[in-house]
Every structure is written in structure tokens, then in C-alpha cells.
Amino acid sequence: MQNSSIAIVESLDQEGRGVAHVEGKVIFIEGALIGEKVVYSSYRKKPTYEFARVERVLKESPNRVKPKCQHFGVCGGCAMQHLEFSAQVAAKQRILEGDLWHLAKVKPESMLPPIYGPAWGYRHKARLRARYVPAKNKVLVGFNEKSSSYVALMQTCEILPPHISALIVPLQELLMQTSIRDRIPQIEVAVGEFTSVLVFRILEALAPEDELLFRAFADQHNVQVWMQTKGPETAVPFHPLDAQELTYALPEFDLRYPFTPTEFTQVNPHINQVLVRRAIGLLDPQPGERIADFFCGLGNFTLPIARKGAKVVGYEGSNALVRRAKANAERNGLVSQTEFHEADLFKVEPDNLQALGHFDKWLIDPPRDGAMELIKALPEEGGPKRIVYVSCNPSTLARDAGVLVQVKGYRMLAAGVVNMFPHTAHVESMAVFER
């Protein structure tokens, strides 16, 4: 550890670290908040920047709070529990505005009110690590330690639903009893409206006595147990075999979505309902319009757009999700309003895009890499009159917004943050563009 120094924190970065400038260098300080005067010690030094940790806070931010979770600071699942909840949202909004301006020289004409919901117990999808530690004669189950590949020693988790948090210790005890305790690296959690699923990644076949243990666990804790031997597509129900399917709902649009535990769905169903409502409000789909939903997944936005009477074509890179989206359209009586196609949206040429036909509007919900190829392929004339862009990475949103505004002739009407992941530094956002 290096010698201690003093700094005044000016802002937060995208990892939730305090940012300060000392003698011409940028210092990223874990555990420091805006406006605080802190004593820090650096653990990694480069010519122009350093990574550091807080040793002592000399002047506290009025927004500093006591973290609710006993594992905060060790577990890498959360980065901002020491920052008051509404101040977290404000910090994320500053990151969004900063990225739009510094990376793309774009300012929205107005800022949307931030979307936020429950602060705790919100995470209905999670991937927990499991590791047998011979030195402790114990199996650890939880998230990784901060900046480490080690599994944090956890008993509870405040961002998981309470009934799942309560399973962390029983899961450790269960895996410890199995014959393959060192061959189960991961447990995927999926919570639906009426049931919860635990998917165990197993690198060796279960012994008959192991099977008995997993069945008893599922029955005792009222969860479904699935087993996964290789990739996500190999996940299959183990016990009980006649269990209720996983679903989530969008009640405002009278929609219900079945899904499997390894398929992508939003982790926070409360926020997802508000997110979809806002996206549909900004898109304003009308009967008779033809609308594209790019990166459509299992139809999270496609089906609500169709409910408004528009014809919607969903494009998605995963064949399994395309099949799921078609099944969900059928389940909700929207087959005549929807089409779904498999497409690699990271390899789009202007000719390919033109061949899809004219769309009145677009909705884009890409992964972290953004939608640059799609946006570069937009024609200079005759493109959609409105684009709603849902983003999980403000820097790629900013990059793509720069092209839309400065090259493709769009105005950025509005943008705002969506606090999908409270207490983490993850910034979800939404923007609307008009030609």
C-alpha cells in the first residue's frame, strides 16, 4: 500500500468511485463521495491516473448514509449503498448528461424525470457464484468480492428478494453435502410472478444421493431446481417436473410473458413496467404505422407497441429469443400485429436496412455495445420520423446520439435515467430523437 494523501472529491465515475485531481493526476477513489475531503491510499499508479481507496473521511457529504447490507464494501454486487438513494439517481443523471456532452457534444432539449422504484429486494434475475474452499471446509455462495475473482462470504443480500436472500446459507449447506461440491460453479436465480427457479451449473453428473438432496431442497423451500451441464441452452427442469412456468407481466398493456430462467429479461420487474410505459409514451405508436423494434428480445417492447394498434417487426440476434417472442405474441393474441426475424444487428449495411422496407418509427434497445452499425446504415432521407433509444450504457448512447444528431439530421428531444439497478453504478437511460 502506498503512502496516504488528501483529496477533495469533485464527481463520481461510472463505477461509483469518487474522482479527484491531485498534482495534475486523476485519482479514482473507492468509497468517496462528491464534496468530501478524504485521506486516500493508492493501490495502482499510472502516469496520468491512480486507483485508490478511502482511508478516512475528513469532511463528510451530507448525502453519506450507513449501508444497509452487512457485506457492503467487500461484496462487489453494489457500489453505492453509502450514498443516499435519491442522490444516487442524481449522480447517474449527471453521468448521462456528462457523457452526452463530453463524448458527443449533444444536449437534449429537455431532461426526462428519472424513473426509479423500490430500493431493496428488486433483483429478480441474478447469477450467483459458488465455490468450495477446502481451507475453510465451506462452500461459499454469493457475488464476487469487489475487484476480485473470489466469492464473497455472504449470509444475506439486500438487493435480492427476501425469500431468495434467505436461501444463501441453506444453499451453502446444501452444496457442502453433495459429492460434487467442487464442481458446481454457479447458480442462476430467476424469480417470476408465481414461482422461483434456481439453475445449478454442474460440471459432473449428480450421484443418486445428490439427486435426493436437491429434490428435498426444492420441496422444503418451494422453489424449482433446474440443472445446466454446458451452455444456457442445456438448462432443463430437474424437480419438480410439473411446476408452474416462469412469467412476468405488463398489466397496463394486459400482457403476460412466459420465459425460461436463462433467457434475457429485465432484472427489475417494477422498473420494467414504468420503463415500457414511458417508452411507449415517447414512441406514441398509432394504428396503421409500421414500427421496427431492434434488439427486441422476447418482445418486451414489441407487444405493447402492437397493443396500440401499430404493425411491429421485431429483430433479434438470438434464434431462441425470436422463437420465444413469436410464442409470446401468440400467447397474447398479437400474431396478426407482429413479425419477428433473426438478424445480426452488429453487421448492418444500408442495402440490408433498405430491404426491410419503410418504418415510421424505431425502438432500439441494444446491449452495452450500442447500435452504431444500425445507425450508420440509416439513410440521409426517408428514415423513421422518430427513434426511441433505450440504453444500458451511457457512453455508447452518447456515441450513437452524436451520429444521429450531427450526421443523420435528428434532434434529441429528451433524455433521462432509469434506475434499473439501485445501489450499483450501472446507468440505464432512455432518449427520444425526431427527424
Closest CA to 116 of 397, 433, 417, 394: 417
Report in angstroms the alpha-carbon separations of 349 from 178, 295, 312, 371.
52, 16, 21, 13
Is-contact 30 9, C-beta < 8 A?
A: no
Question: Do the Cβ atoms of 7 and 40 come closer than 8 Å?
Answer: yes
Gap between the Cα atoms of 325 and 296, Å rounded: 8
Beta strands 18-22 and 338-342: pairing type?
A: unpaired
Is 301 known as a binding-site position? Answer: no
Grid cell at residue 138? 465451506
- DSSP run (H or E) holding 205: none
Write out the residue limits of the CATH 3.40.50.150 domain(s) in the chain.
91-118+249-434
User: Position of cell 453428473?
Assistant: 205
Q: Is 266 annotated as a binding residue?
A: yes
Residue 2, pLDDT score: 53
The verdict on whether 392 is a catalytic residue reads yes
Residues of the chain with CATH 2.40.50.140: 1-64
Cell output for 2: 502506498
* Architecture of the structural domain at 1-64: Beta Barrel (2.40)
CA distances to 359, 360, 367, 379, 401 from 353, rounded to whole Å, are: 10, 14, 19, 9, 19
pLDDT tens string, the chain, 435 residues long: the values are: 457 899 999 999 988 999 999 999 999 999 999 999 999 999 999 999 999 999 999 999 999 999 999 999 999 999 999 999 999 999 999 999 999 999 999 999 999 999 999 999 999 999 999 999 999 999 999 999 988 999 999 999 999 999 999 999 999 999 999 999 999 999 999 999 999 999 999 999 999 999 999 999 999 999 999 999 999 999 999 999 999 999 999 999 999 999 999 999 999 999 999 999 999 999 999 999 999 999 999 999 999 999 999 999 999 999 999 999 999 999 999 999 999 999 999 999 999 999 999 999 999 999 999 999 999 999 988 899 999 999 999 999 999 999 999 999 999 999 999 999 999 999 999 999 999
pLDDT at 381: 83
How many Å apart are CA 208 and CA 220, to the nearest integer?
19
Architecture of domain 125-191+196-239 in CATH? Beta Barrel (2.40)
Is residue 143 marked as binding?
no
Which one of the listed residues 198, 392, 418, 427 is annotated catalytic? Answer: 392
Q: Which helix (H) or strand (E) holds 53?
A: strand 49-59
Q: Whole-angstrom distance between the N-terminal and C-terminal Cα of the chain?
A: 54
Q: Report which DSSP code applies to 75.
A: B
Asked whether 387 and 85 are in contact (CB, 8 A), the reply is no
Is 296 among the annotated ligand-binding positions?
Answer: no
DSSP state of 68: S
Q: Contact, 75 vs 143, CB < 8 A? A: yes
Three-class SS of residue 214? helix
Q: Where does CATH 2.40.50.1070 sit in the chain?
A: 125-191+196-239
On whether 360 is known to bind a ligand per the annotation, the reply is no
Q: Would the annotation count 254 as a binding residue?
A: no
Strand 18-22 relative to strand 125-133, pairing? unpaired
Q: Determine the topology of domain 91-118+249-434 in CATH.
A: Rossmann fold (3.40.50)
Residue 92, all three cell numbers: 447517474
78 is in an annotated binding site: yes
Find the Cα–Cα–Cα–Cα dihedral 200, 217, 192, 206, rounded to 10°: 20
What amino acid is encoded at 356 in this protein? L
